[in-house]
Structure formats: structure tokens, C-alpha cells
């Protein structure tokens, strides 16, 4: 049985109304959408992953260290409801946990909003169906930085509601690509939905991570999620903040995007 992990009660959102990009009120048999999958080539390079901090009596799991990543492709946008429904229809895979709940912009009325309520396992299956994979944590952070160094967000050291969908701004996921892209042309690397990556989580991993193309610990109980989302605080939407969930958990705040080898 899947474990459902919610940060808030669903009933608290009964008054929230999402504005669909297209197709609001459509029947479940039709889900066109305007956003099409698009890959962006990220040129390989070296960068400082994590951040330099000095906090007494508080262990920090994102300690700064040098990393090299090879060139790779990554989705320009987070995977949408429309794209994920195509996968479910083609494979018989179950629909996301919160499908049909308008308060989370999940379902046929919101084809261009990011899919939520997807486990890490289901995200991996979707990626494999597309001939792709989930990005590594290092790839994700490198891409999220958009070519900038020593910045906390994808386009600088601060964000507001015109740049990022975090807690207290829109109150729900918004249509992917609605806000400005970073320097690599990627949208919503900060906010909208938190994103699964491939790595197991270990709080000490950054202290022993290999320099070249790290892929995370060999084993663990939880998988890393990155980027902050519509229910995350502003500080959780930085390019360095790390969180984790068990791979079979689902959340109203968590989605994903895919990556592919060059």
C-alpha cells in the first residue's frame, strides 16, 4: 500500500480555485494541452555544489564542494498532467494520487500544470517509458544554477512572486513555463513543485562525494527532492536546499522532470 505524505490537510484547500492554462472543465477523455516536451542541452563543466556556511551546533548537509558533470539533456519544463496521462493511458499505470482534485490543479482540466502525487518509483517508470531517466542531484543543481556561480536562486540571490511560485504567492501549482527561465532556458527550477532526482539521500554525502559525475550513495531509505514548490517556504526554493522522501511516498507539492545522456 502506498504511503500518502501530506504537509497539510486536503480540507484546508476547499476554497482554493486554480486557473487552468487551457482546457478547464474538459471531459477526462480529452487532454490536449499546449506545452510539449522539450529538452535543453546543458554543457558540461565544473561548479561549486552546495554552499559555504558556518552554523554552530547545527549540522549542514549541503556543504560546498567542487563537482564536474558531463554534458546532458534535461526537460525545459516539469512533467505536466497531460504528458503523464499519456503515459498512464499507454501503459496502464495508475493515475496520480490526487488526480481530479482541482484544488491541486491535478487532472484533465489542467493539462499544462505540473503533475503532483507521483512517487519516485512512478517518476522513474515514466522516465524509462520516455527513454530517459531522472537527473542526478549534481546534474539538477548544475542545471538549476543556470550558469551562475555563488547565487542562491536560479536567476540571482533573491526571488519574488514574479520569479518563483513558493508558499504565500499563488497558493497552488501554476502552468509550467509561466515564470521566467534561468540562464539555460529552464523553467521552474525554483518553486512550483519540488522535483524528484535519482539519488539516495545521505546527510554526509557531500563530505565524501566524488568530483566527477557523482550519482549519490549506493543505498539508502530515502530519495532526494530538490527545488522547493508552491507549498515550500522561500528558503526551501534555493538551488542548494536539500530534502528527501521515501520512494513510495506521494505529496501535493512534489513532481519531477526528466534528463537524458548526451
Half-sphere exposure of 114 (CA within 13 A, CB side): 34
Do 165 and 192 touch, CB atoms closer than 8 A?
yes
Decide: residue 157, CB within 10 A, 0-12 exposed, 13-18 middle, 19+ buried.
Answer: exposed
CA separation for the pair 11, 67 (Å, rounded): 44
pLDDT for the residue 186: 98
Dihedral sign for Cα atoms in the order 245, 247, 251, 254: positive
CATH topology of domain 38-262: 3.90.1580
d(CA 90, CA 215): 30
Beta bridge mates, 45: 69
Query: 58 exposed, middle or buried (CB, 10 Å; 0-12, 13-18, 19+)?
Result: exposed
Contact 260, 72 (CB under 8 A): yes
Of 241, 242, 203, 195, whose CA–CA distance to 221 is shortest? 203
Question: Which residues contact residue 95 at a Cβ distance below 8 angstroms, ignoring those fewer than 6 apart?
Answer: 85, 88
Q: What pLDDT digit, counting tens, does each position of 13-70 carry?
A: 333 335 443 333 333 344 456 888 999 999 999 999 999 875 555 567 999 999 999 9
Measure CA 192 to chain center. Answer: 8
Residue with cell 504537509: 7
Q: What whole-number distance in Å separates Cα of residue 253 and Cα of residue 239?
A: 17
Query: What are the domain boundaries of the chain?
Result: 38-262
Instruction: Give residue 60's pLDDT.
Output: 76
Walking along the chain (262 residues) 10 residues at a time, the average pLDDT comes out as: 40 38 36 81 98 66 95 98 97 98 96 98 98 98 97 96 97 97 98 98 95 98 98 96 97 98 95
Least Cα distance to 210 among 46, 52, 74 occurs for: 46
Which pLDDT score is estimated for 35? Answer: 87
Whole-prediction pTM = 0.89
Amino acid at each position: 500500500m502506498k504511503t500518502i505524505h501530506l504537509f497539510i490537510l486536503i480540507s484546508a484547500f476547499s476554497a482554493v480555485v486554480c486557473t487552468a492554462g487551457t482546457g478547464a472543465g474538459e471531459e477526462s477523455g480529452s487532454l490536449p494541452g499546449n506545452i510539449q516536451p522539450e529538452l535543453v542541452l546543458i554543457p558540461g563543466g565544473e561548479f561549486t555544489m552546495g554552499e559555504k556556511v558556518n552554523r554552530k551546533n547545527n549540522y549542514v548537509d549541503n556543504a560546498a564542494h567542487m563537482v564536474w558533470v558531463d554534458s546532458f539533456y534535461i526537460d525545459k519544463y516539469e512533467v505536466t498532467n497531460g504528458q503523464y496521462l499519456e503515459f498512464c493511458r499507454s501503459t496502464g499505470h495508475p493515475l496520480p494520487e490526487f488526480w481530479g482534485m482541482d484544488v491541486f490543479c491535478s487532472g484533465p482540466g489542467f493539462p499544462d500544470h505540473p503533475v503532483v502525487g507521483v512517487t519516485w518509483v512512478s517518476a522513474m517508470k515514466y522516465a524509462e517509458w520516455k527513454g530517459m531517466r531522472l537527473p542526478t542531484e549534481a546534474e539538477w543543481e548544475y542545471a538549476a544554477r543556470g550558469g551562475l556561480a555563488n547565487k542562491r536562486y536560479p536567476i540571482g540571490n533573491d526571488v519574488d512572486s514574479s520569479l518563483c511560485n513558493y508558499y504565500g504567492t499563488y497558493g497552488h501549482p501554476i502552468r509550467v513555463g509561466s515564470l521566467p527561465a534561468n540562464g539555460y532556458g529552464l523553467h521552474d527550477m525554483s518553486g512550483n513543485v519540488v522535483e524528484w532526482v535519482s539519488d539516495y539521500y545521505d546527510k554526509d554525502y557531500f563530505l565524501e562525494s566524488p568530483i566527477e559525475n557523482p550519482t549519490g550513495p549506493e543505498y539508502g531509505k530515502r530519495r532526494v527532492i530538490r527545488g522547493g514548490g508552491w507549498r515550500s517556504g522561500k528558503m526551501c526554493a534555493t538551488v542548494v536546499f536539500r530534502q528527501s522522501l521515501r520512494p513510495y511516498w506521494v505529496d501535493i507539492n512534489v513532481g519531477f522532470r526528466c534528463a537524458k545522456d548526451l
